[in-house]
Amino acid sequence: MPSVTPDALLDPKNDYVFKRLFGEAPELLVSLINDLRPDLPEIRSVEILNPGINAEELRGKYIILDVLARDGEGHAHNVEIQVRRYGAWHQRALYYLARMLAQQLEQGEDYATLRAAVGIHLLDFDLFTDTPEQRAQARWRFEMRDARQPEVTLGNRLQLTLIELKKADRLGLGADPLSAWITFFEHWREEQTMAAIKHTPIQEALNRVRQLSADEEARRLAFVRERALHDEVSLLKEAREEGERLGMQKGRLETARNLLALGVLSDGQIAQATGLRVAQVEALRAAAPS
């Protein structure tokens, strides 16, 4: 096994690393899916549908590197990890899941042959925090059920499992395999903590992280991906700040127009009151209807 210090281990939450871990190891992906959904029937095998990663994906903004797979029963699985929250997060997740379901059938095929579209998203942020009950739950599964009688369902052809990693780590979920995976994703660099986990798939995943971390090219590509994600965060922050700035500017202009309409203050006084330049106030006065 390659010798890599814990501090040098790549982050399995980096979606490039995540896809290398599970997109290249179908047996490990089977273990992950079964452990994250312990209350559903186990799957026994998967075929990875998108094992490759191209350079455009690594550098692309607003792209999530996911693992697409089909199990032995024909059900489609989308497994991904996310470290940032989009404004339209729910809409994206639902759209992607519905598209996975719709793309299964060819023209003329019987609807009875439709298999499930399963989303499994690991979130490294808290998503549901509005109530004490939401803050006390970290694993969620959404299906199509009646609002008044949730025991009445349209089946589980559409299902989305969410794991809020940081919340689950804070809450502590016992010593089951799900808890072991959460510990892996949140504490992979803590040698003693990881050594205490006896669940074999976790140790296999950690060994694969060590192997990737010892590979110079894998480290380079993981850094490329991390830099792209940081650039994305910066772009979003700049866009938000620019929007706020334009909003403030619009408010100042509107206030200046109202003060001009009163006809009491001079241009200099209005500029002082609104934070605008005198030239801007003069331009507003010139453009005002006489």
Q: Tens digit of pLDDT for each residue in 108-130? A: 678 888 899 999 999 999 999 99
In a domain, 253, yes or no: no
Cβ-Cβ contacts under 8 Å for 164 (sequence gap 6 or more) = 123, 125, 126, 127, 128, 138, 139, 140
Q: Report pLDDT digits (tens) over 175-231.
A: 789 999 999 999 999 999 999 999 999 999 999 999 999 999 999 999 988 887 766
Nearest CA to 281 out of 259, 264, 289 is that of 259
DSSP notation for 180-219 = HHHHHHHHTT-HHHHHT---HHHHHHHHHHHHHHT-HHHH
Which residue carries 């010892």 as its tokens?
A: 214
In a domain, 189, yes or no: yes
pLDDT beyond 60 at 236 = no
In a domain, 167, yes or no: yes
pLDDT at 267: 83
In a domain, 79, yes or no: yes
Q: How far apart are CA 260 and CA 284, in angstroms?
A: 8
pLDDT beyond 80 at 43 = yes
Q: Mean pLDDT over all residues of the chain?
A: 86
Number of domains in the chain: 1
pLDDT beyond 60 at 2 = no
pLDDT band at 61 (very low <50, low <70, confident <90, very high): low
pLDDT band at 286 (very low <50, low <70, confident <90, very high): confident
pLDDT band at 92 (very low <50, low <70, confident <90, very high): confident
pLDDT at 133: 96
Q: How far apart are CA 184 and CA 11, in angstroms?
A: 10
Cβ-Cβ contacts under 8 Å for 173 (sequence gap 6 or more) = 138, 139, 179, 182
Structural domain including 32 reads 6-214
Q: What is the largest CA-CA distance in the chain?
A: 82
pLDDT at 33: 97
Q: What DSSP state is assigned to residue 39?
A: T
pLDDT beyond 70 at 75 = yes
Mean pLDDT over residues 228-246, rounded? 60
In a domain, 268, yes or no: no
In a domain, 240, yes or no: no
In a domain, 91, yes or no: yes
